[in-house]
Chains A and B, each alone.
Chain A
Amino acid sequence: MIPGKPSTFTYSVLPVLTVVAVLVVVWYAAAIKMNSTWTYDQAARAGTEPSFSEVVKDTMQQDRPLLPVPHQVAAELWDTTVEKKITSKRSMIYQGSITLKTTLWGFALGVVVGIAMAALIVLSRVGRLSLMPWAIISQTIPIVALAPIIVVLSNAIGAGSLLVPKAIIAAYLSFFPVMVSMIKGLTSPDHMQLDLLRTYGAKRSAVFWKLRVPASMPYFFASLKVSIAAAFVGAVVGELSTSAISGLGARMLIGSQFGEPMIMWAALFAAAILAAILIFTVGAIEKILRRAMGGQPV
């Protein structure tokens, strides 16, 4: 370590921890403030006058708080992950695995569609002129409006389960980053590199496979993290908008319908944790692949 230069811990980890700590404190304060209304109401009804410490204590242990405190959410998460059997409908791991499956199918579909569209747009002038504007427009359309129709149509085609429409919604959001990056990557070779292959008398297909595809790889890897995050958001949005009965999004729905805020919050945090795992994993894979290919920077 160089003297006078801060370590990684003080430079990057400590600030993050500080910000998280501040957020937790704000959260507690907000929870106490919001939940105390109910406490005072109850007390007024019972004709008692609670002390401040009693109020604070009560705000942290309500069954249906307006805003549960962090340790309540943590306890609920612990209860629904470690304590529950994985096969139980109340297990967040079970529910998470449903969302994960949707995400991965949507991601796979999105990557394939994204690459295919990019290839079409780069290789064909007509394809580029007709598809490119629609690809951009597709992302400005609120997919949630389409969700019920996607369910009905995929059922009519005989999909049988909700996995297909949910995966389609996830793919709808995740193909775009892949497509944009692949277009950038496939068109990244410069004139000199293209001219070199022309001096060899290379055919279009050779130019594509020997130059454009390898050149696009770093761009492709870079798009995966964005794409998996989009697929995950799509999976949850899909669950929310198709009235799904399983998955983390469905738990949020159920929590909302039965007025169980703890379920909603636990599902929300389970979703955040799963998202972190997904992004981290894809990031790690990206790093390994990138190193294996010689660490070409974008």
Chain B
Amino acid sequence: MTSPVIDVSGVDLTFQTNDGPIHALKDVNLEINKGDFVSFIGPSGCGKTTLLRCIAGLETPTGGDLKVNGLSPEDARKARSYGYVFQAAGLYPWRTIGGNVKLPLEIMGFSKAEQAERVRKVLELVDLAGFEKKYPWQLSGGMQQRASIARALAFDADILLMDEPFGALDEIVRDHLNEQVLKLWARTEKTIAFVTHSIPEAVYLSTKIVVMSPRPGRITDIIDSPLPKDRPLNIRDSAEFIQIAHRVRDGLRAGHDE
């Protein structure tokens, strides 16, 4: 058995605020293996985004141990081990779509030819070929978010961290993007950590669902999904799917009632 790509053990994080300390994460233990699609789900304040930011090295835990690719999150960040997709697309308005995708490549010092080639490839991957010369504000919200995913994929890191990437989009667009993400995952075999507050989204996408609960932020349940890797949209009407969704909902409710 190989060692996990992301290894979280006993992680604690306390923020100091004006209203006293906030226990954002308490004793979080989790292993994510290569090729996993892991969703973090829970109500706001449960620390799911904070945990993702800890993995990304954007936040530093106050206790416990966290390894990404066997490195500390800080070193993993410096080694550019992951692509990060934020809640909003956050594309730079002064750059074209192509220019935005190129941004990390420029910073990381890829050659000009390599940059062009990779931009073309990832834009194709997210179905945005032909929009390279457009500016972000000329595109719909869903297309912008797809471009931001392309930006995260451009430098071909093994891990993709996604923080409620479709939270601001309407349900129809979201369904479509969920399908695309699954295809992407199947094609690229990346390890994906995905934060969401939608139960169907979590169950539909994941091989592993991490249910979290607030005050203090902690994991209440980890569900390994028995669903097959190949998932058409209508799998959401299957008995298995509904059963997992039930278990997630129970986990969320249990955390709520305490």
- By a beta-carbon cutoff of 8 Å, the part of chain A in contact with chain B is 2-5
Contact = CB atoms under 8 A, between A and B. Distances in A.
Interface string B16-54: 111000000000000000000000000000000000000
A279 B117 CA distance: 57
Contacts of B17: 2
Contacts of A3: 16
A4 B20 CA distance: 12
A42 B17 CA distance: 64
6 contacts: A2-B16, A2-B17, A2-B18, A3-B16, A4-B16, A5-B16
B29 to A, nearest CB: 28
Contacts of B18: 2
Main secondary structure of the interface of B (DSSP, over half): strand
Contacts of B16: 2-5
B38 to A, nearest CB: 33
Interface residues of B, number: 3
A109 to B, nearest CB: 41
A3 B18 CA distance: 10
Which of A2, A3, A4 is packed against the most chain B CB atoms within 10 Å?
A: A2
Interface string B140-174: 00000000000000000000000000000000000
Interface string B201-227: 000000000000000000000000000
A5 B20 CA distance: 12
B78 to A, nearest CB: 26
A4 B14 CA distance: 13
Contacts of A2: 16-18
Nearest to B18: A2
A2 B16 CA distance: 8
Nearest to A2: B16
A2 B22 CA distance: 13
A66 B17 CA distance: 53
Contacts of A4: 16
B110 to A, nearest CB: 40
B226 to A, nearest CB: 47
Nearest to A1: B18
A1 to B, nearest CB: 10
Nearest to B17: A2
A8 to B, nearest CB: 13
B21 to A, nearest CB: 9
Contacts of A5: 16
A3 B16 CA distance: 8
B154 to A, nearest CB: 38
A3 B17 CA distance: 10
A2 B19 CA distance: 9
B18 to A, nearest CB: 6
When A and B form their complex, which 3 residue pairs have the shortest distance between CB atoms, in order from nearest?
A: A2-B16, A4-B16, A2-B18
